[in-house]
Amino acid sequence: MFKNVSLKGLIYVFFISLYVWIGYRLWYFDNAGNGFILGDWFVNYQDGGFKRRGLTGSVLFWVQDITGFGLVNMVYAIQMLLHFSLLFFIYKMLEVKRVSLFYFTLVISPLTFLFFFNDSPMVGRKELIFLNIFAYYLYLVIKDKLTVRKEVLIYGLLFVATFLHEITVFYIPYFILAHFLIFKKIDLKRYALFFLSVGLPAVVIFLFGAKTNEGQTLAILASRGVELQSYSIFSFTNDLFVQFDKYRNNVLGYGLYLPSLIIGLLHFGFYVKQETNYNYKRIMLYFFAIIAYSIPLFVLACDWGRWLQIHFTLFLLILTFSLPPLSAAKFKSKPILPFLGRNLQYGLLILFLSIWSVKHFNSGLSYDGLLTRFFLDLQYYFTH
């Protein structure tokens, strides 16, 4: 079934298709004035002074004042560049690696890149900045280009990124895990530098940051030619625990994120056990510990599927780094279950991954994956 198929070719075709899809959806969302995909980039310091995430909006306003470029077009270009660079770094890593059929299934998991097909409002979000920094770090290591100067650059990028979006604080342990797996020793000095790179700006934001909306941003945007949809990031308050009512009112929807998490842990756990040389119990325990470390993020913000997708994508980047080099002997993924044939098992796994999805909020598990929607659309076409 998979004998004559180039797995790398399949991955590249998937990435190209994904990029085209993202470009199409982003163009629609940005030009419709989406209050989150577009609006988050316009949090600014002009409205009430220093605040979390405000650096992007202020820089964009400054560039517009100098160049006259439209804000929406600038954001679209940045979003597309960030999506492209992330896929490019993965491509450059895969260039010198051997891939397996099992690895391919991680790429098309509903908790990694298939997420963008299943839930298009996830495109263009600011976590792309952190994902790119992490991918760049791994790329430098693979290419043996991680000099002292570039290591300092990584710390600097993390420092600045925290002023763009504070989620860096909740995902910085992936740098610790990656550093340990790369250098195979504990380095408390560098671990401290990673945490300080995001921790110091986070403390400053917490102590001195104003609300994301002090009441003037929408008027400022209107004067600059941008009109956001009525429901936007500027509709929210900075009050802690404001999301609790949403969780209480949708216990089932949010409860279903647990089985999705379990499915993801089993999927990635079997891969680590079968196709890496790591102690899979230790690695999976650390992965679970990072997720547990980020629990405050799940408490404070309702985008649970989004937070999980970031976790699994970062873990996928680590596993991409850990793939065997091209010089290694060719190998085939072993069957996961001993009583089924290899091709049948992976065919069923790919089918399973294509029929369910996770939404970025409110719906932790549903059977409306890419293949499911395709057949439903086909049925609608022939019956109407």
Pairwise CA distance, residues 84 & 82, whole Å: 5
Q: Within a 10 A sphere around the Cβ of 9, how many other Cβ atoms?
A: 9
- 232 part of a folded domain: no
The candidate with the shortest Cα–Cα distance to 61, out of 223, 255, 276, is 223
- 179 part of a folded domain: yes
Give Rg (Cα) of the chain: 21
Pairwise CA distance, residues 377 & 362, whole Å: 23
pLDDT tens digit sequence for 174-215? 999 999 999 999 999 999 999 999 999 999 999 999 888 899
Q: What is the pLDDT, as a whole number, of residue 129?
A: 98
Q: What is the pLDDT, as a whole number, of residue 236?
A: 76
| Alpha-carbon torsion angle 334, 336, 339, 345, nearest 10 | -90
- 264 part of a folded domain: yes
Q: Contact, 109 vs 10, CB < 8 A?
A: no
The amino acid that residue 120 corresponds to is S
Q: Contact, 15 vs 30, CB < 8 A?
A: no
- 61 part of a folded domain: yes
pLDDT tens digit sequence for 250-293? 999 999 999 999 999 999 999 999 999 999 999 999 999 999 99
- 217 part of a folded domain: no
Mean pLDDT for the chain overall: 92
Supply the range of the domain harboring residue 43: 7-208+242-322+333-383
Q: How many domains in the chain? A: 1
Query: Who wins on pLDDT, 93 or 337?
Result: 93
Cα–Cα distance list, 10 to 5, 97, 104, 111 (Å): 8, 15, 8, 19
pLDDT tens digit sequence for 109-157? 999 999 999 999 999 999 999 999 999 999 999 999 999 999 999 999 9
- 36 part of a folded domain: yes
Q: What is the pLDDT, as a whole number, of residue 2?
A: 45
Average pLDDT over residues 79-96: 97
Pairwise CA distance, residues 222 & 42, whole Å: 12
- 221 part of a folded domain: no
- 99 part of a folded domain: yes
H or E element that contains 349:
helix 342-353
Q: What is the pLDDT, as a whole number, of residue 6?
A: 87
